[in-house]
Amino acid sequence: MKRILERSKPKQQIIEAMVKAFFSEHNVEQAIIEIRDDKDSRSVKQNRLYWEWISVIGNELGYTKDETHAVMRDKFLGYTETTTKFNVIKELRSTTKLKVGEMKDYLEQIDMFVAEWGIILPRPEDLYLESMGIKR
């Protein structure tokens, strides 16, 4: 269970609701709360490049952005499983939870995969170099 907290926004209700939800869903006596900075999350430039690429791929293949996004996540990120009292729920992994290095790897996999189909993805310099960790 994760939430992004912002310095300028109220936090007490959010934290209390998360704790209450966690203990109602899990039969445990203890839990760990960790607060850390958000530096490791995928970068804004990676996100912009990703959605630009998703749009290009979708246009080439005749898919919507959402369909293309789902296809790429299925192919390269796989699924998470959550076990409930009633069954196991499988969900596509989200790109929003990828760290900068994981997002770079994901972008590289997509680039190589669609190149096999002859799709050349744009590389706007302001987005591509930083997204791929290339220092000028």
Q: Of 132 and 102, which is predicted with more confidence?
A: 102
Position 35 scores a pLDDT of: 77
Radius of gyration of the chain (CA): 18
Position 110 scores a pLDDT of: 98
What is this structure's pTM? 0.66
Are 131 and 101 spatial neighbours (Cβ–Cβ below 8 Å)?
no
Percent of the chain with pLDDT over 90: 51
Maximum alpha-carbon separation in the chain: 55
pLDDT band at 126 (very low <50, low <70, confident <90, very high): low
Give the range among 61-65, 98-102, 105-109 with minimum mean pLDDT: 98-102
- Using DSSP, state whether 88 is helix, strand or coil: strand
